[in-house]
Structure 1
Amino acid sequence: MDTSGIIPDIIDEKPKAKATISFPSGAQVDLGNELTPTQVKDQPTISWDAEAGALYTLLMVNPDAPSRADPKLREVLHWAVINIPGNKVADGQVLAEYVGAGPAEGSGLHRFVFLIFKQGDKIPSEKFISKTTREGRLNVKIRDYVSKYNFGAPVAGNFFQAQYDAYVPTLLAQVK
């Protein structure tokens, strides 16, 4: 993550471990490999070494919107789940439903970053962002979460890169 610019673009410390991320399409995330929006359209499964009894937060962002050269919307929140017991993401509380990669045509490669943080306590929240809305997703900052909840360095992370493909107009038609 050092050479990709993720440090310092969105976080200050490298994740302690690599999260394993697999999409229903069969695509695997591997530290910056290129995947297509078609391959990542459905919510992935994620695993990492979790402590028994601990709670975790999962955040997925795109720091390169509308493009890596002009990231004025940095960061776009693609997925947020809090209060995850161990690494059972399905048992956590969804703050923002998963939305796949949808880079604009001609905007080049975008990084899509998954970070997992260990929580000190349960996080109370009534917030919920549907996968059909942009509201609450633009100009989100991982550093704000880290500061607000005293997360420290991410315990795990991974990322892929994607650029426009024929699926993007279908994805964008679902988001208001």
Structure 2
Amino acid sequence: MKSKIDVFLRDRKTNMECFSHDRICPDVIDSDPLAILGITYENDLKIKPGKVVTPTQVQNEPTLIYDADPSSYYTLIMHDPDAPSRENNINGEWQHWLIGNIPGNRVKDGDVLSEYIGAGPPKDTGLHRYVFVVFKQDRKINFELPRLTCHTMKGRAKQKVRDICKKYHLTELVASNYFMAEWDEYVVQLYAKFR
């Protein structure tokens, strides 16, 4: 009979292999994360790396869990590198969520730079990858970025994780996770919110 630690290590290895298999590393990040970011949506929907979900299931902001130093600040980025499709990603990475200066793991207390927008892959574009990364900051940062509401698409296209990291000296990837989704009827409602 396997111990809990054996099962944990097996699951961790399987989870980490997903990042390379689905090309999160190297398409979005340079190396596999050290830890899996805990992501839970409504109805206790827990995200494991590579999980396929519907836009309906992920329309509202999730709860995130990661190990953090309570005296440090962190940046959260959620991007879709497959906009408008994986084969023709001319608008990728498309920014779905960006929060900086998160004290420890208190995401709600961070500076919201881009409000959360759930998965919205265009019809007939297949599965999109939605990648979450959390970086530790070396200090509190004055982010010189426009504040984007959940009602705007403007300013969200072509916002690469690597460019944000370079500009703000984010070098320590703390945790990451991702899901995949393709179009469902909710996407029509999502697009109707944009001005």
Fold in common (TM above 0.5): yes
Instruction: Name the counterpart of 1:52.
Output: 70
Instruction: Name the counterpart of 1:175.
Output: 194
Does the CA contact (< 8 Å) of 1:13 and 1:153 recur in 2? no
Matched letter for residue 60 of structure 2: D
Instruction: Name the counterpart of 1:98.
Output: 116
Residue deviations 1:4-59, cap 9 Å, x none?
A: 11111111122110010001243221101001000000000101010120100000
Does the CA contact (< 8 Å) of 1:27 and 1:35 recur in 2? no
What CA distance in whole angstroms lies between the structure 1 residues aligned with 2:65 and 2:108? 11
The structure richer in helix per residue is: 2
Counterpart of 1:151 (choices 167, 170, 184) is: 170
Does the CA contact (< 8 Å) of 2:82 and 2:93 recur in 1? yes
Higher relative contact order at CA 8 Å, sep ≥6: structure 1 or structure 2?
1
Counterpart of 1:38 (choices 49, 56, 63) is: 56
What CA distance in whole angstroms lies between the structure 2 residues aligned with 1:166 and 1:26? 22
The root-mean-square deviation of aligned C-alpha atoms, in Å, is 1.0
Please say which structure displays the higher CA radius of gyration: 2
Matched letter for residue 155 of structure 1: V
Structure 2: give runs of 5+ residues left out of the alignment. Answer: 1-18
Does the CA contact (< 8 Å) of 2:66 and 2:105 recur in 1? yes
Structure 1: give runs of 5+ residues left out of the alignment. Answer: none
Count of residue pairs brought into register by the alignment: 176
What CA distance in whole angstroms lies between the structure 1 residues aligned with 2:91 and 2:172? 23
